[in-house]
Amino acid sequence: MNESLITVLPENIAKKLGQALAHIPGGETAKIEKPKGEGAFNHILLITTDEERYVFRARRESSSEEIEAYMRYMYEATSFLEAGGIFKLRNIAEEIDFIKSALAVGLPVPKLIHADTDWMLIEYIEGRTFHEFVKAGEVEILPKILRELNLAHTKGIIYGDRWGDNEIIDSQGNVRMIDFDIEWSYEGVNDGIVEALEMAVPIFHSLRLTSTRNDLLNIVQNDALPLLKSWGYKIDMIGKFIQGFCNFYLDPNKPSNIWSLPPELYVSMTEPANRLIAIFSEAE
C-alpha cells in the first residue's frame, strides 16, 4: 500500500479507504494510486491487487458552492433552466442508486463491488476516454457515443454531464459510461429538453476538444444529424443548447476561473462554432 499517499488523505477519507480495502481479496497489500485527474467533486483512488483493479470514490469535503454557481451560470446561458430543466449534485448514496438502476436495465456502467452510504468501490475500466479520441482527431467516434446515449434514453435513463472524460471506450470498442455525480431532470412535462441537452453536450465538447474541426463538422452533418432525426430528437432544441454553450464558452468577458477555455480558443473556435450552429438551424 502507498503509505505516503494514505498519510496525505483527509482522515475520514483514509478511514473509508481502509473500509473499502477490507472488502477486497488482497486489499491489505494493494497498490493505491491517484489518477491523472480526480475532478472537482470527488476523491478518486485506483486500487490494484495481484488479481484485479478497482476504483474508490468518495465526495470531497470542500464546499461545492463555487462549482454549482458556475454550472448555474452555464445552464442559464443555454436556456436549459428557463425551459424547465433542473440540475443537482448527487450525494454518493444517490449516485449508487443511479448506478443500480442503470445496471438493472443493462446499461454500460461500472459494476458495483461494494458500496456504503458515503463511498463506493467500483470496477476499473481499461480504455481511452472520448476526450482522448477527439483530441487525437478520431472524431468518427462521436456517433458511437450518441448511439449509447440514445439507448439509455429509450430505457428512461439520463446520465448527465457527458463532456468527454466520462465516457470510456474499452479494448473491445464498447462505450462504458462513468461518473454520475451531476443529475439532470425537469419540472413539469419533459418536452425532450433533458435528452436534447445530453446530445448537445458531447457534440459541443467534441468541437471544443478537437483540432480537426472540419472533419468533426462533416461527421455531425453527415452522420450525427441524420441519426438524431431518425431517433426523433428535437433538432431545434439541440441546436439551441449548442448555441448556448458556444455563447457561454466563447464569451471573452465572462469571469475567468479554472474551468475557462484557454484564450487562444476564443479566436480559433468562433468560425467552426458558427458553422456548427448553422448545421442545426438549417436542419429545422
What pLDDT is recorded for position 244? 94
Residue-level pLDDT at 10: 87
In angstroms, the CA 30 to CA 165 distance is 26
Report how far residue 268's alpha carbon sits from residue 280's, in angstroms, rounded to the nearest whole number: 20
**Cβ–Cβ < 8 Å for 47, 31:** yes
- What distance in Å separates the CA atoms of residue 227 and residue 212, rounded to the nearest whole number? 21
| Average pLDDT per consecutive 10 residues, the chain (284 residues; last block may be shorter) | 66 92 93 81 92 94 75 91 92 95 98 94 96 95 98 97 92 95 88 95 94 96 98 96 91 64 68 95 87
**How far apart (Å, rounded) are the C-alpha atoms in residues 183 and 161?**
8
Owner of C-alpha cell 471506450? 169
Strands 112-115 and 167-170: unpaired
